[in-house]
Chain A
Amino acid sequence: MADSLIERSTVLRRVRAVGKAFTTPLHPDDYLKLINPLWSARELRGRVERVEQVTDRSATLVIKPGWGWSFDFQPGQYIGIGVEIEGRFHWRSYSLSSAPVRSEGTVAITVKAMPEGFLSEHLVNGLAPGTIVRLESPQGDFVLPDPPPAKMLFVVGGSGITPVMSMLRTLDRRGSVPDVFLAYSAVDEDDMMFLDELRELAAKHDRFTFHERFTDRDGFLTPDRLGDVCHDWAERETWACGPQPMLDALVEHFERLGREDELHVERFSLGATETDAEGGTITFGDTGKSVEVDGATTLLEAGEQAGVNMLFGCRMGICHTCDVPLLSGRVKDLRSGDEHTEGEYVQTCISVAATDCTLKI
């Protein structure tokens, strides 16, 4: 993860430390943000500059990040975005679709409104320019290597195009596009994101081949038919992003051929939501400890089993002494039955694991 500018600059760090003597226990930024909401590096923030319609169901959010943001992310990485709805922040991760370019001063994510996806719907249709959102630093290892390999294959389904878009735009900006084959499936033409831009790129770069596949008309592209659309697919290092079943099939196919090292996969969607907590392996942040528990063991009890020194208080959900941020996975609040996902704070004394999860301790 790239450090923020303030963490990297000794001078800025010193200025900040001096400033803190004036504002302790707060940060100078807590006062500065009253003047401009982007003047705070306590949390990464951004202002939504534009919302650009991509298809009927998807839109690109162009965001101007505030203090502390670093533009040297790698194409393909995703960011966390926190959006306030009805007084509450909701967090999700989305791949950056823009190339990492400082000069424009903005980054972009492209979001597709999912059925029952209350946050994605809000992002596509409900976000006004000027809205302040919270951001989390770019992360993820589904990235474009530098330099890129001579021959590449992208297998993409639906909104899985977004990280690939960032990679393609980066290659296009550099003007040195290697031998790239993109097999992109969407339901139909209206559902295919960035269709015009991809066609333009294909026209501009001889070595970039764009295979459009509309599953309504052509059916799914199964791994065993890859050779039909891209004859030399077996010679290409492959990046795949899309729906879960497509990725599972690809992973299996590559494993069978012993080529799993040449396949990079980004799983951007969560599995279906279970109603009852199933338990899972809980990992405790920096401690390196983890423990496998059932769906009735609270995160706090699990921590104690694993010998992790967790803060606790009332153990009945009153005092909030035990709250910690959830880094990944999902947990279920035993009192309310609510599920919490990554980026949220959870009360460990009354929460159980719904999936494998990681806590920040």
Chain B
Amino acid sequence: MAYADVREYTHLTDEEVEAIGRELDEIRAEVEASRGQADRDYVLRIIALQRRLAAAGRITLFASLFPPAWLLGTALLSSAKILENMEIGHNTMHGQWDWMNDPEVHSSSWEWDTTQPAEQWKHSHNYIHHQFTNVLGHDNDVGYGILRMSRDQKWTPYNLGQPVYNALLALFFEYGVALHDLDIEAIRKGEKDPKLLKRQLKQIGDKIGKQALKDYVVYPALTGPAFLSTLTANITSNLVRNVWAYMIIFCGHFPDGAVHFTEEELEDETRAEWYLRQMLGSANFEGGKFLHIMSGQLGYQIEHHLFPDLPSNRYAEISVKVKDICRRYGIPYTTGPLHKQYGQTLRTIMKLSLPNRRTKDNPAPPAPRTRRLRDDERPGRRHELGRWTNAAATS
């Protein structure tokens, strides 16, 4: 079930919604005012750790003909890639560290260790996904254009293959992400500017080339007789990172309790309603400090979606306050252990490979649905959506 109005869904009055908005603004202001040396020390420590792990992994793999060294090197390299993508790259490109005014740790210059060019990621993720979170037809992260993740998305026989597509997406996640900003749907409809497409494809091709050269040619060749074992170690590291990143990201918006919205929600949405949509559309998972660091603090997905550009090391303390707001206003705060959250996500993927009439909806709180507006009643689309093209929101 996708919802047309976040305020009605939560049964809150306008005043209550605005009061929640004010409280969240205050949390933001407090964290902004207290960012300082300790936060900088944290991110520099993580960056130094990540680079040492990567160097140690590469060096260990010179002995990759020796199986324990293969295993250790692969583990070190996988950890380095995971840390770089999750806690460092993703968060830096969100602008979480821009306040330091450090040109070497800044959203405008960061390039991450994966095949998606940073420039395209900042558009498809920071803008499209974070602005239009969970709005069907607007947020390409709802199933990545490959999977049907909501009962309000149209079923076609293509969806019968979801269990297979899902496994492939998990294994080759970095390539799925690399193509994310192309807008496959627009290409299919012939609406995509060919010049832009060409530029994007070239940028992706260049990045994939450099990444592949490094992991699949340069380092294996450097280890000489261990070429093949270093190659398999590097391939394995990339696969491990892919599966891990896939799982963490799919736990962010698809466990039971995280809701989707229809296009109507965007109409006249206030800043406070935007906050509410982020809280209701996201799901956390529980775990220790290590798990949170290795997942780029995305176990605090709700907090991340409320404040995508506040430093990730602060999400834990912010979560205490957000939970309290949810409790006081009776708003659901979706969380659970990682295995449970992923289990629910996987169940949804399997279930929605079938048409709605073959499966039962997950239990969800009842909510009123507003009458759908006729086309002539809708306001025009926001002009700054630019090259993004509309898709039928619901069926």
| A residues neighboring B (CB under 8 Å) | 21-26, 30-31, 34, 42-43, 82, 84, 86-91, 134, 311-315, 318-321, 323-325, 336, 343-345
- Stretch in contact with the other chain, from B97-105, B235-243, B369-377: B97-105
> Is B316 interfacial (CB 8 A cutoff)?
no
Could you give, for residues 33-70 of chain B, a 1 whenever the CB lies within 8 Å of some chain A CB and a 0 otherwise?
A: 00111111100000010011001000000000000000
Contact across chains for B104 and A42 when beta carbons are under 8 A apart: yes
Complexed CA–CA distance, A99 and B213 (Å): 46
> Is B384 interfacial (CB 8 A cutoff)?
yes
Contact across chains for A313 and B127 when beta carbons are under 8 A apart: yes
Contact across chains for A87 and B38 when beta carbons are under 8 A apart: yes
Partner of A318, one of B55, B98, B111, B309: B309
Residues of A within 8 A of B210 (CB): 21, 24-25
Partner of B101, one of A31, A88, A318, A320: A88
Contact across chains for A345 and B108 when beta carbons are under 8 A apart: yes
Complexed CA–CA distance, A21 and B108 (Å): 22
Q: A21-B210, A318-B126 are in contact. List 19 more A-B contacts (CB 8 A).
A: A21-B213, A24-B210, A24-B211, A25-B210, A26-B113, A31-B55, A87-B35, A87-B36, A88-B99, A89-B101, A91-B101, A313-B122, A313-B127, A318-B309, A320-B107, A323-B95, A323-B98, A323-B107, A345-B103
B94 vs chain A, min Cβ distance (A) = 7
Residues of A within 8 A of B207 (CB): 25
> Is B198 interfacial (CB 8 A cutoff)?
no
Q: Can you list 26 A-B pairs with a CB-CB distance of less than 8 A?
A: A21-B218, A22-B214, A22-B219, A22-B222, A24-B210, A24-B214, A25-B111, A26-B51, A31-B55, A34-B48, A43-B104, A84-B102, A89-B100, A91-B101, A311-B119, A313-B122, A314-B127, A318-B126, A318-B131, A319-B122, A320-B122, A321-B122, A321-B126, A323-B107, A345-B101, A345-B103
> Would A34 and B52 be within 8 Å (CB), given that A314-B130, A321-B126 are in contact?
yes
Complexed CA–CA distance, A302 and B98 (Å): 23
Identify the closest chain A residue to B89 (Cβ).
A25
Contact across chains for B48 and A320 when beta carbons are under 8 A apart: no
Complexed CA–CA distance, A311 and B130 (Å): 17
Complexed CA–CA distance, A86 and B41 (Å): 10
Partner of B127, one of A23, A26, A319: A319
Complexed CA–CA distance, A194 and B117 (Å): 52
Complexed CA–CA distance, A62 and B32 (Å): 34
> Is B123 interfacial (CB 8 A cutoff)?
yes
Residues of A within 8 A of B102 (CB): 84, 89
> Is B175 interfacial (CB 8 A cutoff)?
no
| Interface size, chain B (Cβ < 8 Å) | 46
Partner of A313, one of B98, B111, B123: B123
Residues of B within 8 A of A89 (CB): 100-102
| B residues neighboring A (CB under 8 Å) | 32, 35-41, 48, 51-52, 55, 93-95, 98-104, 106-108, 111-113, 119, 122-123, 126-127, 130-131, 207, 210-211, 213-214, 218-219, 222, 308-309, 384
Contact across chains for A319 and B130 when beta carbons are under 8 A apart: yes
Contact across chains for A88 and B103 when beta carbons are under 8 A apart: no
> Would A320 and B51 be within 8 Å (CB), given that A86-B37, A313-B126 are in contact?
no
Contact across chains for B98 and A88 when beta carbons are under 8 A apart: no
Which of B94, B98, B112 lies at the interface centre, i.e. has the most chain A CB atoms within 10 A of its CB? Answer: B98
Contact across chains for A31 and B108 when beta carbons are under 8 A apart: no
Complexed CA–CA distance, A43 and B102 (Å): 10
Contact across chains for A312 and B384 when beta carbons are under 8 A apart: yes
Identify the closest chain B residue to A22 (Cβ).
B218
Cβ-closest 10 pairs across A and B: A320-B95, A87-B40, A313-B127, A25-B111, A319-B126, A89-B101, A87-B37, A320-B107, A87-B36, A86-B36
Residues of B within 8 A of A319 (CB): 94-95, 122, 126-127, 130-131, 308-309
> Would A87 and B130 be within 8 Å (CB), given that A34-B51, A320-B95, A323-B107 are in contact?
no
A297 vs chain B, min Cβ distance (A) = 16
Complexed CA–CA distance, A71 and B51 (Å): 31
Complexed CA–CA distance, A318 and B107 (Å): 12
A81 vs chain B, min Cβ distance (A) = 13
A15 vs chain B, min Cβ distance (A) = 15
Partner of A315, one of B32, B108, B384: B384
Complexed CA–CA distance, A23 and B214 (Å): 8
Residues of B within 8 A of A86 (CB): 36-37
Residues of B within 8 A of A88 (CB): 35-36, 40, 99-101
Identify the closest chain A residue to B117 (Cβ).
A25
Complexed CA–CA distance, A312 and B108 (Å): 12
Complexed CA–CA distance, A24 and B58 (Å): 13
Identify the closest chain B residue to A315 (Cβ).
B384
B296 vs chain A, min Cβ distance (A) = 16
Residues of B within 8 A of A312 (CB): 384
Contact across chains for B100 and A87 when beta carbons are under 8 A apart: yes
Contact across chains for A318 and B51 when beta carbons are under 8 A apart: no
Identify the closest chain B residue to A45 (Cβ).
B104
Residues of A within 8 A of B101 (CB): 82, 88-91, 343-345
Partner of A87, one of B39, B48, B98: B39
Contact across chains for A345 and B38 when beta carbons are under 8 A apart: no
Identify the closest chain A residue to B99 (Cβ).
A88
Residues of B within 8 A of A321 (CB): 122-123, 126-127
Which of B106, B127, B131, B308 lies at the interface centre, i.e. has the most chain A CB atoms within 10 A of its CB? Answer: B127
Complexed CA–CA distance, A89 and B102 (Å): 6
Contact across chains for A323 and B108 when beta carbons are under 8 A apart: yes
Complexed CA–CA distance, A319 and B95 (Å): 7
Contact across chains for B214 and A43 when beta carbons are under 8 A apart: no
Contact across chains for A21 and B214 when beta carbons are under 8 A apart: yes
Complexed CA–CA distance, A287 and B221 (Å): 43
Identify the closest chain A residue to B118 (Cβ).
A25
B34 vs chain A, min Cβ distance (A) = 10
Residues of B within 8 A of A134 (CB): 103
Residues of A within 8 A of B100 (CB): 87-89
Contact across chains for A25 and B113 when beta carbons are under 8 A apart: yes
Partner of B103, one of A21, A25, A31, A43: A43
Partner of B51, one of A30, A315, A325: A30
